[in-house]
Amino acid sequence: MTEPSTPTRDVTVAAKPPGPEQLANRYTKVQSRDVNVYYGEKHALKHVDLDVYENEVTALIGPSGCGKSTFLRCLNRMNDVIDICRVTGRISLDDHDIYDPSLDVVQLRARVGMVFQKPNPFPKSIYDNIAYGPRIHGIAHGKAELDEIVQKSLERAGLWKEVSDRLDQPGTGLSGGQQQRLCIARAIAVNPEVILMDEPCSALDPIATARIEELIDELRENFTIVIVTHSMQQAARVSQRTAFFHLGDLVEVGETEAIFTNPEDSRTQGYITGRFG
Amino acid sequence: MTDATSFPPGTGSGGRPTDPARRPLVVSPHLARRYARERRFRLLGLASVATAGLILLILLGSIVSKGYSAFWQYNVDLTIEFSAEELNPDGGPVDMETLRRANYLALVRDSLKREFPDAAGDRSERRKLYGLVSPNADIVLRSMVLEDPGLIGTTQTVTIKLSDDMDTFAKGYIDRNLPEGDRRVTDLEIGWFDHLNSEGRIHAAFNVDFFTQGDSREPEEAGIYGALIGSILTLMVTLLVSFPIGVMAAVYLEEFAPKNRLTDLIEVNINNLAAVPSIVFGLLGLAVFLNFFGLPRSAPLVGGLVLALMTLPTIIIASRSALKAVPPSIREAALGLGASPLQVVTHHVLPLAMPGILTGTIIGMAQALGETAPLLMIGMVAFIVDIPQSFTDPATVLPVQVYIWADSPERAFVEKTSAAIMVLLGFLVLMNAIAVLLRKRFERRW
């Protein structure tokens, strides 16, 4: 199984920075204020204030263990699964507190989808992988509608052409890059508003990575994306805004171009120039 | 052993060519010893495997060599006169009730007397003569007549089982060269046997009754069907009780329970329960199920409940490790899509863990099938002739049947014991084979 078309787009040219008009009009999709995360005694994330704007890609960068993945997992409350994890502060989606006790976490996760570091398709058919989300949320009414959702999701993830003739085969039989696109298709099948991506390319080869990056840029039109990445080049290529975390602190956040060309903090400067990390 | 000096020269550590002059390849004196140690280790391992294999072979060999002869039975063809005087002494129309009660044994005895008129005089000789054939021979004749009353008044050649002693002699387990006082059969009986044999009227046939009848005091009539049905009924109860409880407990502990002191304590205790001697479970069953709840004695219901207690820890432990083996990434994927914890378990985790759970369950069931001690405590060791029809009928199970037969004095039960062991082992092997197949069939699909 080979990755199809290599991307024609020059990925080094960053996605177009928003013009001043757009900057003024952008809508804060996710807002975090004074977010702290504790793992038992460990203070893993300290006083994070971060805004994520709609239809933009926000990249979270920083050295290992800096808390960027922890922050990402707060946004759809995946940290709830961990017994010793405690979150304080306020995170809101469309100005609704997502840690409100009256909020149902299942519905939150339907609105905030997630793609993981390692491609993790279910050991079921490609079709069932995509159809699972719509099924449990009762999105599709009838087989025809479900078929349509599956096809559309695969098309948007750029996978339809490659798998349309073998939807009944197991998703685990695809190549790594295809599996990750399958996971993205699975996430968008429930029509979320925000997609969280936790190092989605770290287990993939450069060609598959480029394919995913291209896909992320396309998805930006319809979704708000937050991506954790270890690769600064990737952050530069795909994101409009970048947040740099270090030892649990949010050191600096700003337009990607500004962060990479003219960082304000010396730690950011040190990290992006490769002095540490 | 490879000569150490034959390594290609010039390759130092890391595969980088080094100057041989700077770094000569030394044949270390340790090298020979290291190789010898490795060889010894492999030999030891091989010897262990061979010993285990040999022991298994001896065990199986002795069981099979003792037990294979139980699968056939020697019979004798007798000319039976279905005389009307004997079967319907009052004359008149044939009435089923009379036929049912008639003395069929007399027919067999008459036939034997006609065969050997010399023995008819002496009382003890006569008893020996009648003892040539199974004392239950009348049952065969009765069912023949009840099926076809037209037989009355005719003379038929009927195949009748030899008694256990004569059957044992026919199979060659009794040495005719021993002095008469040292063997179970007398010269007289041997004479009769030889006479019948020379006429070609003694022949062996597959022992169907062994698989279709219940226990009996007469070895030639004893079969394992009753014990088999008892085992099946008992295991059904065990499975129905222990599987749902075990799987639910495992799922709760693994997927939902908070990890704290209490759950740690529960886990330790489950592991301890798995190590409790099985007879203790039997005593518990006696005290609780029989004495407190007043359930019937010797019943598969109670036996199954006791074995369920014993099997529960096995199933819980196997299920938990099967659940643990499901990668967390699958759970995360489902949670990330907005599946509820229950949906994560029922849609993803449980189906993936099911082969492992079933394997553990089958192994637990195999253990339960072979268990004897706890069942002795609740009275399943009774001598039961009838085939159990329900969960509350008195019953026994295969291993207990083995125990009962091994305890019986008759020589003919020796081969029955081994044959019953073979049947039991056959079922155990079958169950384990299913477990292995399941494991192979559904091996890691992620």
Instruction: Give the pLDDT confidence of A41-92 residue by residue, as tens digits.
Output: 888 888 989 989 989 999 999 888 888 889 999 998 888 888 788 888 889 8
Report phi then psi at A137, rounded to 5. Answer: -95, 0
Residue ranges of chain B that CATH labels 1.10.3720.10: 225-442
Cross-chain residue pair A109–B332, CB shorter than 8 Å: no
- Determine, for residues B337 and A132 on separate chains, whether the beta-carbon distance falls below 8 Å: yes
Residue A48 dihedral angles phi and psi, to the nearest 5°: -90, 125
Name the residue facing A116 among B333, B340, B445 (closest C-beta): B333
Q: Which two tokens stand for residue B342?
A: 């229950």
Q: Would you tell me which residues 222-251 of chain B have a C-beta closer than 8 angstroms to some C-beta of chain A?
A: none
CB contact under 8 A, A109 and B337: yes
Residue of B nearest to A76 (CA): B336
Return the amino acid letter for B210.
F
Q: What is the DSSP letter of A159?
A: -
Q: What is the CA radius of gyration of chain A?
A: 19
Q: Which residues of A touch B263 (CB under 8 A)?
A: none
Instruction: With CB atoms and an 8 Å threshold, state whether A132 touches B336.
Output: no
- Residue A21's pLDDT is what? 62
User: What confidence tens digit (pLDDT) does each residue in B389-438 have?
Assistant: 999 999 999 999 999 999 988 888 999 999 999 999 999 999 999 888 88
Q: Length of chain A, please? A: 277
Query: Cβ–Cβ contacts within 10 Å for residue B50, how many?
Result: 10
Q: Count of CB contacts below 8 A, A vs B? A: 66
Neighbour tally for B184: CB within 10 Å? 16
For residues A210-243, one letter each, b for 16 or more C-beta atoms within 10 angstroms of the residue's C-beta and e for the rest, the string is bbbbbbbbebbeebbbbbbbbbbebbbbbbbbbb
| pTM across the whole model | 0.81
Subunit contact B336:A116, Cβ cutoff 8 A = yes
A121 interfaces chain B, CB cutoff of 8 Å? yes
- Residue A41 near residue A215, CB atoms below 8 Å: no
Q: Are strands A224-228 and A249-255 parallel, antiparallel or unpaired?
A: unpaired
Closest by Cα among B225, B195, B232, B231 to B207: B225
Amino acid identity, position B141: L
Contact B336 A113 (CB under 8 A): yes
CATH superfamily, region B225-442: MetI-like (1.10.3720.10)
* Facing B259 at nearest CB: one of A83, A108, A110: A83
Rg (CA), chain B: 33
Helix (H) or strand (E) holding B272, with range, is helix B261-274
Check B339 against A190: CB less than 8 A apart. Answer: no
The encoded tokens of residue B324 equal 């643990």
Would you say residue A14 has pLDDT above 50? no
Min distance A48 CA to chain B CA atoms (Å)? 23
**pLDDT value at residue A22:** 62
Across the interface, which of B258, B337, B446 has its CB nearest the CB of A172? B446
Bridge partner residues of A93 (DSSP): A30, A96
Contact predicate A72/A226, CB 8 Å: yes
Counting every residue, how long is chain B? 446
Which of B255, B331, B332, B337 should be substituted to probe chain A, the one whose Cβ sees the most A Cβ atoms within 10 Å?
B337
SS3 A42: strand
Instruction: Take residue A27 and report the two structure tokens written for it.
Output: 């809508």
Tens of each residue's pLDDT in chain B, 446 residues: 444 444 444 444 444 555 556 766 667 778 888 999 999 999 999 999 999 999 999 999 999 998 999 998 999 998 888 888 878 777 777 778 888 888 888 888 888 888 888 776 778 888 888 888 988 888 888 888 888 888 888 888 888 999 988 999 998 888 888 888 888 888 888 888 998 989 888 989 999 989 998 998 888 889 999 999 999 999 999 999 999 999 999 999 999 888 889 999 999 999 999 889 999 999 999 999 999 999 998 999 999 999 999 999 999 999 999 999 999 999 999 999 989 999 999 999 999 999 899 999 999 999 999 999 999 999 888 888 889 999 999 999 999 999 999 998 888 899 999 999 999 999 999 999 988 888 888 765 54
User: How many Å apart are CA B134 and CA B75, to the nearest integer?
Assistant: 9
Q: What is the ipTM of this complex?
A: 0.84
Please report the pLDDT score of residue B120 as a whole number.
65
> How would residue A5 be classed by pLDDT, with cut points 50, 70 and 90?
very low
Q: Where are the alpha helices (DSSP H) in B222-260?
A: 225-251
- The verdict on a CB contact (< 8 Å) between B332 and A120 is yes
SS3 call for B167 = helix
Spell out which residues of chain B touch residue A123, defining contact as CB-CB under 8 Å.
Answer: 330, 352, 445-446
**Sign of the alpha-carbon torsion through B415, B424, B398, B370:** positive
Mutant choice from A129, A132, A183, A190 vs B, greatest count of B C-beta within 10 A: A132
Residue in B with minimal Cα distance to A185: B337
Q: Tell whether B334 lies on the interface with A, counting CB pairs under 8 A.
A: yes
Please report the pLDDT score of residue B3 as a whole number. Answer: 45
Contact of A173 with chain B, judged by CB distance below 8 Å, is answered with no
Check B338 against A183: CB less than 8 A apart: no
Q: What is the residue-averaged pLDDT of chain A?
A: 85
**Residue of B378, B340, B367 whose CA lies nearest to B435:** B367
Complete DSSP assignment for B92-127 = SS--HHHHHHS-HHHHHHHHHHHH-GGGGSSHHHHH
Residues of B in contact with A78 (CB under 8 A): 332, 335-336
Distance of CA A272 to the CA centre of its chain: 21
Is A36 within 8 Å of chain B by CB? no
Closest alpha carbon to B129 in B179, B177, B85, B76: B76
The alpha carbon of B337 is separated from its chain's Cα centroid by a whole number of angstroms, namely: 49
Backbone angles phi, psi at B77, to 5 degrees: -85, 115
The pLDDT, as a whole number, for residue B217 is: 87
Choose among B266, B271, B270: nearest CA to B256: B266
Kindly state the helix (H) or strand (E) to which residue A244 belongs, with its residue range. strand A241-246
The pLDDT, as a whole number, for residue B349 is: 93
* pLDDT of the residue at B444: 58
